Amino acid sequence: MEAEGLTKYFDGVAAVEDVSFVIRRKEIFGLLGPNGAGKTTTIRMLSTVLAPDAGDVCVGGHSVIREGDEVRKRIGICPQELALYPELSAVDNLVFFGRMAGLSGHEAKARARAVLVGVGLEARGSEVVKKYSGGMQRRVNIGIALMNRPELLFLDEPTVGIDPQSRNHIFETVLALRAEGTTVLYTTHYMEEADRLCDRIGVMDRGRIVAVGTPAELKRQVGDPDRTTLEEVFLHLTGRSLRD
């Protein structure tokens, strides 16, 4: 994925300004930044949900502006806010969204079973989703994003406000996806999480990407990579601290 000069204004104020970066095939790329930095607005433009005011994005060589359908075939989106049907079971949610993505009934059912195993919910797949914990609901939402076997998966703050068990399941799911060759864009404001999970990180602040690199490369700009945290990197780059 290549983003070039992405810009979005809301009410005359730039939420995202001249953002350019590349996500390589099969990497976990973290977009790290505080509340309001522009992470979600960026993801929305990368995933064809929101049209940029300037700039363009290519996913697998296809422009989000001119070839939205081609892009949507290749991506999965797990939005920051849960998007599922609370009255339906996990299986029925997955099958429904799989059918929306163009799978046949048979394909959707088979894929739903595999996805449930992948997110660690196979034992409770027939329960209605409203009875699940927040973390389990989040895992169903990740499962929905996986129904069309995306090459590129967008996860927008997948671990905010959830229990440690679900958090670990999500880490395992993301690592397993990378091992299978899926590219992942992961936004978070948890620095330890980005440090542990991401191959490369883009640090975002006030609508701009202020640095891109591996965690070790970013830390080396500040000091000894073994003894520097991403919090210190953020402080160094922006003059401000990154708070949860």
Ligand X SMILES: Nc1ncnc2c1ncn2[C@@H]1O[C@H](COP(=O)(O)OP(=O)(O)OP(=O)(O)O)[C@@H](O)[C@H]1O
CB-wise, 40 or 238, nearer to Mg ion?
Answer: 40
33 is an interface residue for ligand X by CB under 6 A: yes
Instruction: Report which secondary-structure segment, H or E, holds 235.
Output: helix 230-238
CB-wise, 88 or 160, nearer to Mg ion?
Answer: 160
Greatest CA span in the chain, whole angstroms?
A: 55
Size of the site for ligand X (CB under 6 A): 12
Q: Which amino acid is at 8?
A: K
CB 199, min distance to Mg ion, A: 21
What Rg value do the Cα atoms of the chain yield, rounded? 18
Region 53-92 residues binding Mg ion, contact defined as CB under 5 A: 80
Q: Which amino acid is at 200?
A: R
37 is an interface residue for ligand X by CB under 6 A: yes
What CA–CA distance (Å, rounded) separates 145 from 79? 9
Return the one option of ligand X, Mg ion, none that residue 197 interacts with (CB less than 5 to 8 A, by type): none
Which region holds residue 27: left if phi is over 0, alpha if psi is between -120 and 50, else beta? beta
**Two tokens, residue 20:** 């350019």
189 is an interface residue for ligand X by CB under 6 A: yes
Judged by CB under 6 A, the residue of 15, 59, 116, 142 near ligand X is: 15
In degrees rounded to 5, what are phi and psi of residue 230? -65, -25
In degrees rounded to 5, what are phi and psi of residue 119? -95, 10
CB-wise, 39 or 138, nearer to Mg ion?
Answer: 39
Judged by CB under 6 A, the residue of 19, 28, 38, 219 near ligand X is: 38
Judged by CB under 6 A, the residue of 3, 30, 40, 219 near ligand X is: 40
Taking CB under 5 A as the binding criterion, the range among 23-31, 32-40, 110-118, 212-220 that sits at the site for Mg ion is 32-40
Return the one option of ligand X, Mg ion, none that residue 38 interacts with (CB less than 5 to 8 A, by type): ligand X
Strand order in the sheet with 13-22: 13-22, 2-10, 54-59, 62-63
Close Cβ partners of 229 (under 8 Å, ≥ 6 residues apart) = 191, 195, 219
CA-based end-to-end distance of the chain: 28
In degrees rounded to 5, what are phi and psi of residue 59? -115, 115
139 is an interface residue for ligand X by CB under 6 A: no
40 is an interface residue for Mg ion by CB under 5 A: yes
What CA–CA distance (Å, rounded) separates 160 from 188? 8
Lay out the site mask for ligand X across 64-83 (x = CB under 6 A, - = otherwise): ----------------x---
CB 202, min distance to Mg ion, A: 14
238 is an interface residue for ligand X by CB under 6 A: no
In the complex, the residues that contact Mg ion under the rule CB under 5 A are 39-40, 80
In the complex, the residues that contact ligand X under the rule CB under 6 A are 10, 15, 33, 35-41, 80, 189
